[in-house]
Amino acid sequence: MRALFLIAAFCALLAFAAASEEKKIVCYFGSWAVYRPGDGKFEIAYIQPNLCTHMVYTFVGISTDGNIRVLDAWQDLPDNWGKDAFGRFNALRAKSPSTKTMIAIGGWNEGSVKYSEVASNPATRAKFVQNVVAFLKKYKFDGFDLDWEYPNQRGGKPSDVQNYVALVRELREAFDKEGFILSAAVAAAEMSASKSYDIPQVSKYLHFINIMAYDLHGAWEKNTGLNAPLYKSSVESGNNAKLNVDSCVQYWLDQGAPPEKLILGTAFYGRSFTLANEKDNGVGAPAPQAGQAGPYTREAGMLGYNEICVKVASGQWTAVFDEEQRVPYAYNGRQWVGYDNVKSIAEKAEYIKKKNLGGAMLWSIETDDFHGKCGEKYPLLKTLNSILRNGVPVPSEELPPVQRTTTPLSPNDNGSNNHDSANDIDEEEPADQPAVPEVPVDSSVCTKEGFVRDQEDCSVFYICQKFNGEYRATRFSCANGLFFDDNLNVCNYPENVEC
């Protein structure tokens, strides 16, 4: 009997050890994808939760008084005939009980200043921590992801670095009492991360750290570049030689981050360009403009993988694989995009294992090929699962190899090119926000940021955002028979709306 007990205990210990060593797959969901047109529209019901160990709903915002702001009340909440996306997202755990659900605060469009103000005041910071705990309990999330972009940048101040440490420490202390998970999305590259984080201290308090190892090149530069190259090119030097996944990971490890807490961010989208000359189409080719917006994501300079794979499968685009940097790019005429496919995602998953990292994060689930238009549904996500969690392999797309395609940057470039998205400078818009058409909006429509009702049609409203001094807007329509209530920022019955 004692022998049976010991065997059972040993088996339980092995099971616990195996579970504790399981690689994480952290799936971010961009909630605005429910507004995309046609086959780009992504419903929460499309998510296969068994493919994610953690699912992160994005985003909520912050107020300078330490409160949490729900950014799309009609979509997120059940109140006032809302669509209760929070509830439906958390209900997916019934299909995969081991999957944890989290809510993320911040993102690029939220900026840094408000977070800097809240974190700098001990009383406001404490109030914010209390509000986060209450929010998680109310809406039944398992954890919280802090996406402050970025401490000590974009209007922040040097004291942000230690105030960020205080914030995550106080969040962790409160979370441990409730059993909540605490993670953060962080800048990956040294030139940005070195400004924002006391890495040894931050690492003490976060359960895991999602390093955003993408947006390493993009249309803010005037030459084509790969969104998330795994390794540097032999022709790169200086700071530019640090803009690759391997350098980002090594910097965080060298600064004291435990490898098991590092979750490598992978991009389910590409960065696109318009070439100066269609015959000069390698990496580093002159590209004075952003690439054309895609039919679903509708953002110049960015294409979802679900948009890219269809272009490549059509035969009209030529796709090649960069042998040095271990990621593909594709071009057609003057249009060019650097991205990840099944092969490059598989290599990044193997890299995670080689470096003993904690797992993979993906931005974001709704730009995978979730309809399976190019073959398998969710090919990129399933590839991560096949390597990190012993899932079923996905056939890899074979592309012609290209050796050393990168054109050297001029000595004056220093690899920065005036960009600070997830990993560099200040004024560009990375892909972690709603796809906003780049169309200037007349001031009679947008006079402030946030929700604005149309002046002539009460069923129409806009989300207004300010970029580089100009307003841009996304137009939405309420369901038939409803008007937009600009007091509650929800679609409401006409009798309840002053129109």
Give the tens place of pLDDT for each residue, 111-166. Answer: 999 999 999 999 999 999 999 999 999 999 999 999 999 999 999 999 999 999 99
Least confidently predicted of 122-126, 224-228, 388-392, 413-417: 413-417
Cα–Cα distance list, 325 to 232, 283, 308, 311, 485 (Å): 6, 10, 19, 22, 50
Give the mean model confidence (pLDDT) for residues 422-441.
38
Is a pLDDT exceeding 60 seen at residue 467?
A: no
Least confidently predicted of 54-68, 281-295, 314-328, 383-397: 383-397
pLDDT value of position 100:
98
pLDDT value of position 448:
75
Higher pLDDT, 321 or 8: 321
Give the mean model confidence (pLDDT) for residues 206-215.
98
Q: Binning pLDDT at 50, 70 and 90, where does residue 417 land?
A: very low
Render pLDDT for 11-29 as a digit per residue (tens, 0 to 9).
443 433 343 468 999 999 9
Give the mean model confidence (pLDDT) for residues 66-86.
95
How high is the mean pLDDT of the chain? 87
pLDDT value of position 442:
52
pLDDT value of position 465:
67
165-186 per-residue burial string, b: 16 or more CB within 10 A, e: under 16? bebbbbbbebbeeeebbbbbbb
All structural domains of the chain: 19-268+341-402 (3.20.20.80), 450-496 (no CATH)
pLDDT value of position 320:
96
Q: Binning pLDDT at 50, 70 and 90, where does residue 201 land?
A: very high
Higher pLDDT, 304 or 475: 304
Q: Binning pLDDT at 50, 70 and 90, where does residue 424 land?
A: very low
pLDDT value of position 3:
43
Higher pLDDT, 405 or 479: 479
pLDDT value of position 94:
98
The yes-or-no answer on residue 149 being catalytic is yes
Q: Give the whole-angstrom CA distance, residue 161 versus residue 151.
A: 6
pLDDT value of position 426:
37
Least confidently predicted of 312-326, 347-361, 418-432, 446-460: 418-432
Q: Give the whole-angstrom CA distance, residue 78 versus residue 401.
A: 51
Q: Binning pLDDT at 50, 70 and 90, where does residue 33 land?
A: very high
Is a pLDDT exceeding 60 seen at residue 414?
A: no
Percent of the chain residues topping a pLDDT of 90 = 73
Identify the active-site residue in 149, 324, 347, 366: 149
Give the mean model confidence (pLDDT) for residues 183-198.
98
Q: Which residue has the tokens 């390493």?
A: 216
pLDDT value of position 66:
98
pLDDT value of position 8:
41
Higher pLDDT, 439 or 359: 359
Give the mean model confidence (pLDDT) for residues 337-362.
98
pLDDT value of position 181:
98
Answer whether 36's CB lies under 8 Å from 296's CB: yes
Is a pLDDT exceeding 70 seen at residue 266?
A: yes
Give the mean model confidence (pLDDT) for residues 62-84.
95
pLDDT value of position 14:
41
pLDDT value of position 466:
62
pLDDT value of position 452:
83
Is a pLDDT exceeding 70 seen at residue 411?
A: no
Q: Which residues contact 423 (CB under 8 A, 6 or more apart)?
A: 187, 188, 189, 191, 192, 193, 212, 213, 215, 216, 243, 248
